[in-house]
A and B are shown apart, each in its own frame.
Chain A
Amino acid sequence: MDTASRSAGHGDGGEADRRRHYEDFAPGDAFDLGSLTVSRAEILAFAEEFDPLPFHLDDAAAAASLLGGLAASGWHTASLMMRLYVDGLLAETASMGGAGVDRLDWKRPVRPGDVLRGTARALDKRTSKSRPEMGIIRMAITLHNADDEVVLDCTTPLLCAVREPAA
């Protein structure tokens, strides 16, 4: 594996890399990831391509389902979370990629027209013994709807470049 500085096209030399590095995160740090609106057309298009279950495609079937009405695919909601995470944090971070997701809960259905707001919070962090140039920050990411109800909640490790690795 290579270091992350290449991955975002930043060179090692020259001007200072202003992106957020491992040292810039502290447990408890919170980040507003912004918001986006989920349209009915987007819900249907995503479901047709990736998750064509009746409660994501058909109002009557959805009303009779556990979701109680048309709702976005959970994969759609998770993908929208990723979009907010990229735009709101990763784009300005010396990210070395995602290692996965420790746990993700879909707490409530996402409905057509919902406005989703993302927040991220650093839980804890540690450096890698085998790879001193890389640190791991455990992030909690949450999406709220306009009624301030949690619709998605997850914990994911962020692999992040260390600005000054220990020799």
Chain B
Amino acid sequence: MWFYEDMPFGLRLDLGGATVTPEAIVRFAGKFDPQAFHLSEAGGRASHFGGLVASGWHTGSLFMRAFVDFADRLGAEMRARGEPVARLGPSPGFEDMRWPKPVHAGDRLAFTMTPIDGRSLASRPEWALVTFDSNAHNQDGAAVMSFRGKVFIERRERH
């Protein structure tokens, strides 16, 4: 990852995408979100969703995977150029998670995130806390998830 000082604030980052298969939807829901419309096509058809739809937490988890893969690709490119690579820290939380449209079985999702804000931390001189506008869209361009996530990002300059 970029160091906090090099974070491209305001730039929308393309994290890549994922296809959400019915098998993956049912497997995730069986473990974590066993509501009828996440567990079978029939259960989905009988619901107001009209078909099998993914748990919002599944969509969030797929977003996370895309973010980690993006950071890995970026880190590999930076290392190849001989640049130091900043560490990613954990996240203390998020705000305003919305699932405005359901994710249906077979949907192809595209994930993006935009660093919008950051601050250094007096208590943790090696780290800054960066806020990202995070989004998922389906193959028709419709928004299916948005949230503002916070992530610890390593600083280059210790203060």
Contacts and interface: CB of A to CB of B under 8 A. Distances in A.
A50 B65 contact: yes
A102 interface: yes
A141 to B, nearest CB: 13
B127 interface: yes
Interface in A31-66: 46, 49-53, 55, 65-66
Interface residues of B, number: 39
A105 B93 contact: yes
A128 interface: no
A99 B56 CA distance: 10
Please report whether the interface of chain A is mostly helix, strand, loop or mixed according to DSSP. mixed
Interface of B: 28, 31-37, 46-49, 55-58, 60-62, 64-65, 68, 87-99, 124, 127, 147, 152
Given A51-B68, A75-B60, A8 B36 contact: yes
A65 B89 CA distance: 7
Contact of B33 (A4, A74, A82): A82
Nearest to A1: B48
Interface of A: 1-4, 6-9, 46, 49-53, 55, 65-67, 71, 73-76, 78-80, 82-83, 86-87, 90, 95-106, 109
A7 B47 contact: yes
Contacts of A51: 61, 64-65, 68
A94 B14 CA distance: 38
Contacts of B92: 105-106
Given A6-B46, A83-B32, A75 B57 contact: yes
Contact of B37 (A7, A52, A67, A100): A7
A109 B55 CA distance: 23
7 contacts: A50-B64, A66-B152, A74-B93, A83-B31, A96-B48, A99-B99, A102-B96
A82 B60 CA distance: 13
5 smallest A-B Cβ distances: which pairs? Answer: A2-B48, A79-B32, A105-B93, A7-B47, A101-B97
B90 A106 contact: yes
Contacts of B61: 46, 49-51, 73, 75-76, 79
Nearest to B66: A50
B91 A50 contact: no
Contact of A103 (B68, B93, B124): B93
